[in-house]
């Protein structure tokens, strides 16, 4: 049986405020074309269909269009919800969709109820189990988990799956979709942290006993073990993914559980480039000409921040979307403590040194030094001034009421405390 494993579409997501809707449509066109051209028997989507719990209308329409096209091909599709998805919203209409061959698994209680696929080549059935993202604090009791973390709840789900599989006819092959962080896998900057609710990572051994584990959540395509793989995202969603080709797994599952996996690359809407150097170097170095059509993250190493760098970079790199400042400066520290380095220096000298530190290459100007001097002098005068004595209160005079007098509003009415009267005057 031939399976196409993909995940983490994040429909509706942008890249540094640049819309990716057209690029995501191009990917879905590529996915449908691959299903047709490579005679795929089933599509597996391992979570994070959308980028947010309440997706945009454009993202929902894109998803709906893709499901219609897959249903028209009569190719079964199994999907699970990820940590970015709203499981309840994504699962609406799942009963009706099932009749069209679209199987949404968003309810943890259904994780041990497989989608049974018949192998047209005569290899018997393949049981596909969908384990949606499991938030430990929400599903621990429902799954009967013995611990509170991610490992405990996923192990409880897998125990239920193995029990169901053991009751099926011998030779039944098994596939599990899960959305989790497996220990030892490589992360990137664009995944949402799932450490809330316990330690985030789970051991790969948790999937022992199944023929293939189609994982989602991590954005880099990678092989944890021969039978445990991440497909990664179809598009790059952070510059940390600049060196990672985007792809899907085409998995052939033999009648005896034999497995062969081929990596299929996805279309690239625009390459990513991370450039580093002074502004003049980035603007003049001929070697950077190849990045003129890339999405660019520029890290400027100028000692002093240059004037209007983004606009100047955009003239050579029109698709510059990220600007980072990392000034390279000579280390002046000589191992002495901070207190020793400041010994004997006036407050004004310390303040001027600070300006030169945060703005290397351009210390405090004459006007700025004068302003710092006036400010420090004002502080010195305020600190040395004689404190004002509070007015004396006679202990022999009439008692002073600690309750503010009432104020009667104009036009009559009940008296109000003085504070309310003050607010009335303020109005």
**56-96: per-residue pLDDT in tens?**
999 999 999 999 999 999 999 999 999 999 999 999 999 88
pLDDT of 173: 97
Residue range 312-323, pLDDT digits in tens:
999 999 999 999
What single-letter DSSP state applies at residue 219? S
Exposed, middle or buried, 93 (CB in 10 Å: 0-12/13-18/19+)? exposed
Rounded-to-integer distance, Cα 136 and Cα 151, Å: 9
* pTM, 2 dp: 0.76
CATH fold group of domain 2-265: Purple Acid Phosphatase; chain A, domain 2 (3.60.21)
Rounded-to-integer distance, Cα 27 and Cα 38, Å: 16
pLDDT of 362: 67
Query: Rounded to whole angstroms, what are the CA distances from 71 to 30, 32, 89, 97?
Result: 16, 10, 20, 9
Residue range 310-363, pLDDT digits in tens:
999 999 999 999 999 998 865 555 566 666 777 778 888 888 878 776 665 667
Rounded-to-integer distance, Cα 130 and Cα 249, Å: 17
* Overall average pLDDT of the 267-284 stretch: 96
Residue range 118-171, pLDDT digits in tens:
987 777 899 999 999 999 989 998 899 888 889 999 999 999 999 999 999 999
Q: Comparing C-alpha atoms, which of 151, 148, 122 is closest to residue 137? A: 148
């Amino acid at each position: 049986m031939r399976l196409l494993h993909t995940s983490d579409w994040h429909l509706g997501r942008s890249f540094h405020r640049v819309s990716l809707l057209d690029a995501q449509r191009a990917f879905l066109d590529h996915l449908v074309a691959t299903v047709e051209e490579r005679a795929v028997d089933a599509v597996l989507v391992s979570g994070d269909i959308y980028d947010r719990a309440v997706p945009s209308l454009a993202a929902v329409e894109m998803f709906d269009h893709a499901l219609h096209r897959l249903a028209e091909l009569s190719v079964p599709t199994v999907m699970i919800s990820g940590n970015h998805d709203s499981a309840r919203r994504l699962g609406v209409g799942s009963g009706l969709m099932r009749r069209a061959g679209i199987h949404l698994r968003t309810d943890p209680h259904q994780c041990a109820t497989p989608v049974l696929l018949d192998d047209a080549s005569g290899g018997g059935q393949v049981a596909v189990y969908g384990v949606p993202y499991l938030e430990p604090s929400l599903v621990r009791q429902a799954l009967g988990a013995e611990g509170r973390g991610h490992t405990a709840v996923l192990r409880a789900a897998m125990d239920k799956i193995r029990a169901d599989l053991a009751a099926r006819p011998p030779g039944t092959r098994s596939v599990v979709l899960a959305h989790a962080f497996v220990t030892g896998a490589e992360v990137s900057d664009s995944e949402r942290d799932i450490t809330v609710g316990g330690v985030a990572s789970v051991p790969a051994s948790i999937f022992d006993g199944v023929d293939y584990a189609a994982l989602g959540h991590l954005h880099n395509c990678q092989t944890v073990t021969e039978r445990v793989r991440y497909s990664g995202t179809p598009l790059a969603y952070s510059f940390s993914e600049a060196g990672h080709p985007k792809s899907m797994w085409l998995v052939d599952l033999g009648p005896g559980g034999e497995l062969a996996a081929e990596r299929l690359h996805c279309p690239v809407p625009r390459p990513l480039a991370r450039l580093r150097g002074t502004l003049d170097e980035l603007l003049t170095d001929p070697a950077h000409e190849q990045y003129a059509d890339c999405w660019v993250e520029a890290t400027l190493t100028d000692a002093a921040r240059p004037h209007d760098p983004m606009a100047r970079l955009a003239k050579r790199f029109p698709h510059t979307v990220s600007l980072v400042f990392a000034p390279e400066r000579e280390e002046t520290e000589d191992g002495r403590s901070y207190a020793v380095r400041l010994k004997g220096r006036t407050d004004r000298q310390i303040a001027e040194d600070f300006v030169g530190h945060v703005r290397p290459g351009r210390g405090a100007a004459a006007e700025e030094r004068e302003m710092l001097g006036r400010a420090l002098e004002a502080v010195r005068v305020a600190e040395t001034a004689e404190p004002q004595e509070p007015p004396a209160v006679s202990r022999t005079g009439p008692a002073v009421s600690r309750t503010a007098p009432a104020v009667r509003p104009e036009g009559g009415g009940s008296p109000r405390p003085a504070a309310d009267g003050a607010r009335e005057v303020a109005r």
